[in-house]
């Protein structure tokens, strides 16, 4: 075979969301877009804040020497300073500009971090359910992903995490607010996790990094707050992007922020700066760096997501599906009424509803619905969900 057998295997494991996207295109072509209820993709549909368009036009019009020149691989210094100010507010401690690196989205940032910290065969703990590509990013850098389930309500299962940590553990990835559950890990749980990691570092005479993937930090509901990971643990690294809170997924702009007291900070920053270059990113997009520097603290109109969540939760509940209302992000993760979640998702397709099986996120027996879609799609889906549930075979 000319193609890498590993990539063939990876493609089969990562195909669920893409498969549902393709199925959706077929259904829309056959029945019309308004008659299909596509909740498969986490692709934000809200426009960026008005200030984005204004600043984009202004900055794109700038001319002169050096406007399109190379920059430091970690990003423009003034951009890193602006991001550091926002991170300092969010993390409730002072973060300096040299503790920030601008990246090609959170995906690029995670690959940069993992390239910088992993030796071949070292382990990274992933908490299920999880964003499917974490395993691939770890493999990219020669590491081994080790999956640990969360608790029944999708919170941290500290005993299970402790059991999974060993002498080859190099990092743990958390994602809060979580894709696909919308769970937010409480401050007390994060503090307990920090204590656990410190004990394990001492036990194994090692450094264990806590990587916090936070692209949904500003999309939260019901007055919940995303706690500071930096206050919980000193060997922590934040990786995030502006894909969700500013609706800029296609612009591939994000950042890495490291704790001011992280172990071997100078060497780590040097390694990440080099990784940004040799992985082929070189630096984050220049124009987008300049634009997001002007938008710190801004978000899309998250009240729209709040409204959609309320309407969609009622629809899903009225249909008889069991789920935990999300505290953040824009997903609902119900239990599958059939033992085989892929079978239930195929059943939903008969009623023109597109969802993603939970097995695609390492959690069989559930399925994901994304409500970053037009209000009308959500409203029109109510009867389809009821019809689908009524048509289930007797259990």
How far CA 138 is from CA of 107, 175, 192, 360, in Å, comes to: 11, 15, 25, 17
Mean pLDDT across 48-52: 97
395: in domain: no
Torsion angle defined by CA atoms of residues 373, 376, 377 and 382, in that order, rounded to the nearest 10 degrees: 130
201 pLDDT more than 90:
yes
124 pLDDT more than 70:
yes
- Please tell me the total count of domains within the chain: 2
- What band does 290 get if pLDDT is binned at 50, 70 and 90? very high
Mean pLDDT across 53-66: 94
- What band does 24 get if pLDDT is binned at 50, 70 and 90? confident
Q: Tens of pLDDT along 164-199?
A: 999 999 999 999 999 999 999 999 999 999 999 999
* pLDDT, position 1: 66
Tell whether 63 and 148 lie within a shared domain.
yes
Q: What is the maximal distance between C-alpha atoms in the chain?
A: 71
The CATH number of the domain holding residue 344 is 3.90.1150.10
Q: Which residues contact 15 (CB under 8 A, 6 or more apart)?
A: none
CA 223 – CA 220 distance, rounded (Å) = 7
183: in domain: yes
Tell whether 72 and 127 lie within a shared domain.
yes
Tell whether 149 and 282 lie within a shared domain.
yes
Closest CA to 353 of 387, 327, 323, 328: 387
279: in domain: yes
Tell whether 336 and 219 lie within a shared domain.
no
For the CA atoms of the chain, what is the radius of gyration? 21
Tell whether 225 and 250 lie within a shared domain.
yes
Residue 257 near residue 87 (C-beta atoms within 8 A) = yes
Strand partners, 100: 257
Tell whether 216 and 91 lie within a shared domain.
yes
Strand partners, 210: 172, 236
- What is the token pair recorded at 212? 């916090």
- What band does 82 get if pLDDT is binned at 50, 70 and 90? very high
Domain boundary among 270, 293, 316: 293
* pLDDT, position 247: 98
Domain boundary among 251, 269, 293: 293
Range of the domain at 178: 51-293
Residue 372 near residue 44 (C-beta atoms within 8 A) = yes
* pLDDT, position 208: 98
Rounded percentage of the chain residues whose pLDDT exceeds 70: 98
CA 251 – CA 215 distance, rounded (Å) = 14
The CATH number of the domain holding residue 72 is 3.40.640.10
333: in domain: yes
Domain boundary among 243, 268, 293: 293
Tell whether 205 and 70 lie within a shared domain.
yes
Tell whether 319 and 271 lie within a shared domain.
no
Alpha helices in the chain (DSSP H): 5-13, 15-31, 50-60, 77-91, 105-117, 134-140, 158-164, 187-204, 229-232, 265-278, 286-293, 302-318, 341-349, 375-380, 382-390
348: in domain: yes
Tell whether 242 and 118 lie within a shared domain.
yes
* pLDDT, position 332: 98
10: in domain: yes
Tell whether 34 and 56 lie within a shared domain.
no
Q: Tens of pLDDT along 350-385?
A: 999 999 999 999 999 999 999 999 999 999 999 999
Tell whether 10 and 102 lie within a shared domain.
no
How far CA 257 is from CA of 46, 74, 169, 354, 381, in Å, comes to: 26, 11, 21, 36, 40
84: in domain: yes
308: in domain: yes
Torsion angle defined by CA atoms of residues 71, 74, 79 and 85, in that order, rounded to the nearest 10 degrees: -160
* pLDDT, position 31: 78
Distance of CA 80 to the CA centre of its chain: 21
Indicate the average pLDDT of the chain.
95
Mean pLDDT across 132-152: 96
pTM comes to 0.95
Position of tokens 């999974």? 164
Tell whether 132 and 38 lie within a shared domain.
no
How many other C-beta atoms lie within 10 A of the C-beta of residue 273?
17
Edge-first strand order for the sheet with 367-370 is 331-332, 367-370, 356-357
Residue 333 near residue 8 (C-beta atoms within 8 A) = no
């Amino acid at each position: 075979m000319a193609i890498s057998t590993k990539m063939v295997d990876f493609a089969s494991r990562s195909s669920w969301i893409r498969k549902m996207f393709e199925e959706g295109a077929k259904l829309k072509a056959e029945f019309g877009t308004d008659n299909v209820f596509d909740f498969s993709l986490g692709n934000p549909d809200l426009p960026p804040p008005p200030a984005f368009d204004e600043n984009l036009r202004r900055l794109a019009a700038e001319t002169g020497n050096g406007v399109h020149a190379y920059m430091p691989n970690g990003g423009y210094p003034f951009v890193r300073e602006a991001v550091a100010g926002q991170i300092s507010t969010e993390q409730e401690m002072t973060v300096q500009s040299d503790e920030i690196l601008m990246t090609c989205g959170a995906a690029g940032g995670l690959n940069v971090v993992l390239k910088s910290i992993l030796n071949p065969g070292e382990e990274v703990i992933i908490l299920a359910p999880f964003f499917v590509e974490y395993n691939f990013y770890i493999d990219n850098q020669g590491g081994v992903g080790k999956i640990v389930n969360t608790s029944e309500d999708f919170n941290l299962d500290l005993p299970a995490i402790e059991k999974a940590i060993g002498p080859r553990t190099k990092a743990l990835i958390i994602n809060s607010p979580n894709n696909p559950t919308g769970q937010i890990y409480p401050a007390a749980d994060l503090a307990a996790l920090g204590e656990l990691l410190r004990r394990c570092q001492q036990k194994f005479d090692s450094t264990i990094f806590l990587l916090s993937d936070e692209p949904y930090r500003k999309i939260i509901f019901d007055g919940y707050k995303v706690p500071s990971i930096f206050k919980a643990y000193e060997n922590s690294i934040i990786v995030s992007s502006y894909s969700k809170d500013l609706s800029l997924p296609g612009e591939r702009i994000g950042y890495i922020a490291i704790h001011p007291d992280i172990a071997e900070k100078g060497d780590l920053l040097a390694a990440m700066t080099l990784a940004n270059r040799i992985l082929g990113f070189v630096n984050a997009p220049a124009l987008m760096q300049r634009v997001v520097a002007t938008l710190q603290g801004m978000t899309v109109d998250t009240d729209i997501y709040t409204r959609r969540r309320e309407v969609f939760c009622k629809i899903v509940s009225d249909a008889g599906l069991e789920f935990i209302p999300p505290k953040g992000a824009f997903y609902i993760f119900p239990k599958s009424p059939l033992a085989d979640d892929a079978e239930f998702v195929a059943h939903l397709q008969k009623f023109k509803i597109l969802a993603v099986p939970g097995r695609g996120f390492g959690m069989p027996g559930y399925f994901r619905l994304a409500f970053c879609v037009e209000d009308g799609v959500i409203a029109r889906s109510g009867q389809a969900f009821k019809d689908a549930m009524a048509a289930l075979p007797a259990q």
